């Protein structure tokens, strides 16, 4: 990380972008179910010839893992708490 990336302004920009992402994700809904949805989709893909690609399988597993991590991180909070926090951070 370079020094210019460590400035408070840049940190606020990153935090604001993450808050925007979470707010958008919250509006889309069903983010808590995304890991299960991805798993179901990828299990079907694995049954096809396309699913026989090792690189694709690795990417699918990575997507599921990331989705599970996000759902786990946000699990303790209600949708309303996530929305309220996202709006508060975006207004900084």
* pLDDT tens digits along 7-60: 667 778 888 888 888 777 776 767 888 899 999 999 999 899 988 899 999 999
Residue-wise DSSP of 16-69: HHHHHHHHHHHHH--GGGHHHHHHHHHHHHHTSSGGG-HHHHHHHHHHHHHHHH
User: Quick count: other Cβ atoms within 10 Å of Cβ 26?
Assistant: 18
Residue 6 has pLDDT above 70, yes or no: no
pLDDT tens-digit map of 49-90? 988 899 999 999 999 999 899 889 888 988 888 888 877 877
Domain ranges of the chain: 8-90
CA atoms within 13 A on the CB side of 51: 12
For the full predicted model, state whether its pTM sits above 0.95: no
Confidence of residue 3 (pLDDT cuts 50, 70, 90): low
Residue 57: partners with Cβ closer than 8 Å, 6 or more residues away? 46, 51
């Amino acid at each position: 990380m370079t020094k210019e990336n460590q400035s408070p302004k840049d940190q606020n920009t990153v935090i604001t972008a993450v808050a925007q992402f979470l707010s958008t994700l919250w509006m889309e809904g069903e983010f808590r179910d995304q890991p299960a949805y991805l798993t179901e989709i990828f299990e079907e893909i694995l049954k096809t010839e396309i699913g026989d690609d090792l690189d694709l399988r690795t990417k699918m597993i990575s997507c599921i893992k990331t989705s599970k991590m996000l759902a786990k991180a946000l699990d303790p909070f209600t949708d309303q708490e996530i929305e309220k926090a996202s709006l508060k951070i975006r207004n900084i």
